Structure formats: C-alpha cells, structure tokens
Amino acid sequence: MAGGAPRRQPTLDEVAELAGVSRSVASRVLNNAPHVSRAKREAVERAVRQLGYVRNPTARALATRQTGAAALVVAGEEPSIYADPFFAQVIVGASAALEEADLHLMLCLAASDRGRKRVEELLRSKGADGVMLMALREDDPLARMAEEAEMPVVFGGRPVGSAPRWYVDVDNVGGAREATEHLLSRGRTRVAAICGRLDTEVGRARYRGYRDAVLAAGLDPYPPQEGDFTESGGAAAMAASLAEHPEVDGVFAANDNMGAGALRTLREAGRLVPDDVAVVGFDDLVVAQVADPPLTTVHQPINAFGREMARMLVALINGQEPTPLILPTRLVIRSSS
Amino acid sequence: MAGGAPRRQPTLDEVAELAGVSRSVASRVLNNAPHVSRAKREAVERAVRQLGYVRNPTARALATRQTGAAALVVAGEEPSIYADPFFAQVIVGASAALEEADLHLMLCLAASDRGRKRVEELLRSKGADGVMLMALREDDPLARMAEEAEMPVVFGGRPVGSAPRWYVDVDNVGGAREATEHLLSRGRTRVAAICGRLDTEVGRARYRGYRDAVLAAGLDPYPPQEGDFTESGGAAAMAASLAEHPEVDGVFAANDNMGAGALRTLREAGRLVPDDVAVVGFDDLVVAQVADPPLTTVHQPINAFGREMARMLVALINGQEPTPLILPTRLVIRSSS
DNA sequence: CTTCCAAATGGGAGCGCTCCCATAGAATCC
DNA sequence: GGATTCTATGGGAGCGCTCCCATTTGGAAG
C-alpha cells in the first residue's frame, strides 16, 4: 500500500530470462530439485535476489493441487468456549506444528449458520489440504461432512457417541476419575459433580470419570448438576446442588471456571473450603491459581493437544497412517481440597 | 478421505457442457453477473446441483488475483500473550467481521524466526488480500515490511513510537488515567504502578495514563515497576514495590493478571485490600471476577477491537479510506478499591 | 571411436477459473 | 427501413506455476 511504482511482482519467467535459463530450470532451483548444474543454480539464485522474486503461492497451489494451508474448525456456538484460554492454547500448539510443516493455519469459527456454510464449502472445494475439527456438538452434521470430504480430517476431542478414524483427545475420564478419587481419599464421602454441558463428549466423559470413581468406592454418585462451563454457570450449579443436597462435602467441577464459580457460591453460603467442602476443578488455567483458595485441578496438556492434532494432520497429508492419540492428565493439588 | 470412487471434482467446463452453454455463461451465473438469460441461468443452476459442483477457490484466486483471505499476524514472542483470553477474543471479533465479507482468516503467530520469515513471505507474495498486525515490539521490522508491502495493512494497537496510517487501538492512556483517578478519588495518595513491558506501546501508554493522573492531582508518580503481564510477574512486581515503597496505599496494575498477582502478594504480606491498599487492574477478564477480592478494573471492548480491525481491513481492500479508530474503555468498580 | 546411460535442459501442456472482445440477434430510434 | 444501441453468447487468452517428456550433452564403458 506504499506509494511507488505499481509494478507487478516479477514472475518465474522473468527470473528465468534474467538468469538465461528456461522456466523449468528456474522452477527446479526454487523447489530444490535435482538435475540442475551448479552454474545455472547460482545464476537463478542471483536473479531471484536481484528481482526480489517471491513465488506466487496461488499459482503454485493451482498447479500442485495443494493449498499449503490447513484449517482449524471450531464448531462451538456458545461464545464461552472462545473466552476460555483453552481455545487460544490449542491454536498456539497447532500453529507451531503446522509451521514446522510449512503449512498456513486457516481458522474457521463455525458458530453461525453462515460460518458453517463456509466450512462446508471449504470441505467440498478442497480449499485446504486438511482439516482439524474441534468442539463438535451432538449429531453435528459437520462430522459427517468431514468424513465424506475427500480430505484428511483430524478430530480434536471425539464427537459424542462415535470414534472417528483419526483424533486426538485428552483422557477426560481418567482425569475426572483421578480428581474424584483424590476427594474420596481425603475422606470425603458425599462428593457431588458439577458437569459441563452433557451434549458434549467432554461433559459426558468427565461425569463418567467421576461416576466410576464414586461407584468404585462403593458410594452413590450424585446426578449430574449441569453447568455451562462458565464461572457464573458453576456458581449457579453449586447453589442448586447445595439446595438439593446440603450434606455435600466435596465437589468435582468439570472445569476451572465452574470450580471458581463454585468457590464463590460456597463462600457466600458461609461454607469453608476445604474444611466444609473440598473442591476440585479441571483444566489448570490461570483461574485456578488466582481463585481463593487456589483450586486443586486436573492439568491437561492443552498446547500438546493442538500440536498433536496438527502433527497427525500433517502425517495424514503426507500419506501416512497415524493412530489416534489420548493425552494424559495430571492432578495438581492446591489448597481447595 | 471416505472410500468411494476417487473421482475428480467437477469443473466449470463440465457444468457448462451439461447445461448446454459455454463456460463464460456458466461463470456468469456463478458470479451472479448480468447478461444471462433466465433459461440458461436455470440450466446452469440445475447442472451445478446435479454434479455437486463447487468452485475451485485456488483457480479463482489465480485468475482474479485475490486470495479471499485476510491474515491476522500476532507478533508477540512471549507465550503469555497467547495464554491470555484477550488474544482469543480478538480473533473471535475479527473472524466474525471477516465472515461478513466472505474472507477467510489466516492466523500467523510470528513468534519464532521461522514464523516471522513466513509472514514476510506472505506479505511479499501477496498470499492474502490484507493483513492485520498485532502485538508488535519496539522497532519490529515487521512494521516496516508491512508498510512496504503493496497490500492493505491495519495495525492492532500502535507500534511503539509511530502512528501507522491505519490502526485500531484501545484508549489505554484514558483508561489508565481513569483507573488512577479513581484510586485518587478514594483518598489514596501513594499510588504505585505495576506496568506491563515498557517495550510495548500498551505498557507505555498505560503508564502514561497513570502518570498523567497522578501529576494532575499534584502528586509525584512512582517510577514504573515493570511486570510481564503475567500473574506471577505481577506478584513479583508487587513484592518489589512493597519492599522499596512500603508506604504504598494504592496500586494501578496494567492488566488483570498482574492485578491478581498483586492481590496475592498483598495477602501474603498481610495487607488488607482495599483497606490498606486499593488495587485496580486493566482488561476486565474472568480473572478479575474470580480474584479475591474481585478486582476493580478497566473494561475494554476486546471483541470490538478485533471486529473493527477486520472491518477497517475490509474497507481498505474495497478501496475505501477508513480512518483510525480508538475504542473507549470503561471503569468497572468492584471490591478491591 | 562408437555405444550407452545418466544428468541437464527446455518446450509445452495443463491446473480451473475470469474476463476481454468479437459476434449475433433483438430492441430502439429517427 | 437502415442506423444505432442493447443484451446474450461463446471463443480464447491469460493468471503463474509444475511437471511430463523429448532432446541434448558429457562422460564412462566397451
């Protein structure tokens, strides 16, 4: 947008001409292909420098039928998922891995109808070399479309009720189980669960883990108290839980935001944490650290989640056959339990 | 990637042939251009449906010299900037605005050298129709390269020491001033400042606002106590500040994370908030809400920040001449002051 | 000095689309 | 009724690159 001559970008032909070689040779040099004499290679490199030549990625894409980009589709509709640092960290991880493979990252937030339509078009038009799909809802049509698209697709987290061919997930069940076992090992016997949305696999899996642990201890699990993964949702769920089950002495919250909300409600209700009620969260975000008291939580490797998703996609694009991956979690004990 | 015939995508020629028209007519129909009879238009539409035709965006891009994508470049090197929900919200806002203009979002995290190189290439190869540039450091070469690129460029936040032609920014000075005035109006006279990195414009601007307010009240500003925008950085800065200036009765923290860190340090030091020391943050993130006590802070329209950046870019791409934009902030008073 | 093979080279046909332009027909105007 | 506009249509030349393939070249082998 600077002033100056509106000169066109130099093309490969011009580079070739200046270097006194054919376009083919110039192309080989740029692609680091063999069958080029040292002299001509250097001549081309000189011409490239002299003209300030940069290869036109679009033309290259058309000729090679590869776009050089991978898409990360986030299908969640509720804004809260984006407010969450989780989302950002995944992006960072994926971005780093794609960078290694020299792929660009296209980010598609398929919240609105229009957004979803664009994703569909992307899938069908092969507008990217591959797709990572996250935060799918139950029966999300995007899942089927992705499977049908003749394009590498990696799922981030499993869609509800189905295990796709390629996915990366966090061990939600195991993490929730460990968190709950931790509460039980602290002598708590009346542990309730504040769940995330139960129409997501994450929400279900974490409740399942909680349930498993409680059952294994020979106790009765509480029914899921559904929150929406937000701080206020957690606070409300905690209030409801307290009203119905005042005897509660432990709470497993399916994420840190809700855990923080639970802490707030407990404080307002005059219950001491962890003396009266112990609380455990999930995610290990900043929120957990700054909460009062600092929240015991389940750490998950969010950055690795994004990174591995991207690596799997790259492998797929390169014609390999990676295997699904489930990342481990780790309990981080703080003062809330 | 599903099984089935590995048939090629249908091309526009095939659509035209099936519809019994020329490629030109078919193209006009797809582009909603005039000079097409009703009959042929319908025939083409039918053929499109029958073949499941989707236009190849790469070929289109090559012919039109427009990629259909805009890039959002985040130049920050420290991971903390990404951990912050700020980043995610901006993306969401930008994404929504780009969606309206039917542009795809390419996200470039130019943290590593390699990342920066790719951005440079993107800029020079016109790999996108326009670029939004965020989180530039002092003397970041990316700024110059962007200005030189013959491509629409919008800055998110101003680079240190220069006002680019087109940018969107938050009124950091005004917000910081208001926050500090608020502390002063509460009767605090020894207000210190925990700043962000002073090699960023945000860090400087917020300190400037603080300074203005203190000077206007006829008091002496404290020197900047530099943090790194993280919770622990804030805690450390608070500790340092307390050691050097134990008389402090008010703290302006340049963001919420550092504000939360300051609260932690104060609690550990046995100072009561807000009784002994009042604290104000900046950003209005979840952290501010869950902090104990909840943090008074300066709310900024993060989503709008991203949205307006994208809108400005779209205007630029469409050949218009938008004017720079500075978004207002708003003080949110909670219990920490 | 031939024969043969591999490396080096350049020509040219795409990739799938847009868009300019020439042509033909239909409508409009003195 | 012929000149003048339109609108509709299709042909074809790109957009800038890759890559197959035919040709040339330089030795090594016989």
Which pLDDT value is given to residue A92? 93
Which pLDDT value is given to residue A309? 98
Q: What is the pLDDT of residues B67-99, one digit of tens each?
A: 999 999 998 777 667 777 788 899 999 999 999
Q: What is the CATH number of domain A69-169+303-326?
A: 3.40.50.2300
Residues of A in contact with B9 (CB under 8 A): 125-126
Which pLDDT value is given to residue B7? 63
CATH 2.40.50.460 fits A12-60, yes or no: no
Place of tokens 């296209």: A106
Q: How far apart are CA A32 and CA A26, in angstroms?
A: 10
The residues, ordered by sequence, that sit 6+ positions from B61 with a Cβ below 8 Å of its Cβ are A58, A61, B67, B68
| Residue A62 Cβ under 7 A from any strand D atom | yes
Which pLDDT value is given to residue B4? 41
Domain with residues B69-169+302-327, CATH architecture:
3-Layer(aba) Sandwich (3.40)
Which pLDDT value is given to residue B286? 82
CATH fold match for the domains A69-169+303-326 and A172-299: yes
| Residue B232 Cβ under 7 A from any strand C atom | no
B153 touches chain A (CB under 8 A): yes
Contact A104, A319 (CB under 8 A): no
**Tokens linked to A69:** 């980009």
Minimal-distance CA residue of chain A relative to B148: A2
Which pLDDT value is given to residue B66? 96
Which pLDDT value is given to residue A7? 63
A318 touches chain B (CB under 8 A): no
How would you classify residue A217: left for phi > 0, otherwise alpha for psi between -120 and 50, otherwise beta? Answer: alpha
The residues, ordered by sequence, that sit 6+ positions from B26 with a Cβ below 8 Å of its Cβ are B12, B15, B16, B19, B44, B47
Number of H helices, E strands in chain B: 14, 12
* B 176-205 near A (Cβ less than 8 A): none
Minimal-distance CA residue of chain B relative to A1: B150
Q: What is the pLDDT of residues B222-231, one digit of tens each?
A: 999 999 888 9
Q: Tell me how close the Cα of B318 comes to any Cα of chain A, in angstroms.
A: 13
Residue among B1, B6, B106 whose CB faces A106 most closely: B106
pLDDT band at A97 (very low <50, low <70, confident <90, very high): very high
Which pLDDT value is given to residue A80? 67
Q: What is the pLDDT of residues A243-256, one digit of tens each?
A: 999 999 999 999 99
A153 touches chain B (CB under 8 A): yes
**A218, pLDDT greater than 80:** yes
B30 touches chain A (CB under 8 A): no
Domain boundaries, chain A: 12-60, 69-169+303-326, 172-299
Which pLDDT value is given to residue A181? 98
Q: Give the closest residue to A153 by CA, choosing from B8, B1, B56, B6.
A: B1
Contact A260, A243 (CB under 8 A): no
Contact A279, A273 (CB under 8 A): yes
Q: Do A2 and B147 touch (CB under 8 A)?
A: yes
Helix spans in A38-171 (H): 38-51, 57-64, 80-83, 85-100, 113-125, 141-148
Q: What is the pLDDT of residues B243-277, one digit of tens each?
A: 999 999 999 999 999 999 999 999 999 999 999 99
CATH 3.40.50.2300 fits B172-299, yes or no: yes
- Give the residue-averaged pLDDT of A288-293: 88
Q: Kindly give the parts of chain B with pLDDT less than 50.
A: 1-5
